[in-house]
């Protein structure tokens, strides 16, 4: 059983899969459209900006919705000893 199978079997998971797959396909297309050369030299290119916007918009699915449905607890620890 993979994540997709599991998500389709739990409450709210099927909707998450249905809304997330097209976004991931858009992200894949945006990656394929990146200009040749070093990314740091292309940071102002519209293709890079589009990819950034797509990744940021999908962050909520991974950090909130998907982790909640999968039962993953995300904790934060600075670990710097203070």
Tens digits of residue pLDDT in 13-67: 888 888 888 999 999 999 999 988 998 899 999 999 999 999 998 887 777 888 8
Q: What is the pLDDT of residue 82?
A: 57
Spell out the residues 6+ positions from residue 26 whose beta carbon is closer than 8 angstroms to its own: 54
- Collapsing DSSP to helix, strand or coil, 76 comes out as coil
Q: Which helix (H) or strand (E) holds 54?
A: helix 46-60
As a whole number of angstroms, the distance between CA 13 and CA 17 comes to 6
pLDDT tier at 71 (50, 70, 90 boundaries)?
confident
Q: What is the pLDDT of residue 24?
A: 93
Say which residue, 40 or 70, is predicted with more confidence: 40
């Amino acid at each position: 059983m993979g994540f997709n199978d599991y998500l389709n079997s739990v409450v709210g998971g099927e909707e998450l899969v249905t809304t997330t797959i097209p976004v991931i396909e858009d992200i894949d297309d945006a990656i394929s459209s990146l200009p040749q050369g070093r990314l740091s030299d292309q940071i102002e290119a519209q293709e890079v900006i589009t990819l950034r916007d797509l990744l940021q918009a999908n962050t909520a699915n991974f950090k909130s919705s998907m982790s909640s449905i999968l039962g993953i607890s995300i904790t934060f620890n600075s670990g710097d000893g203070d």
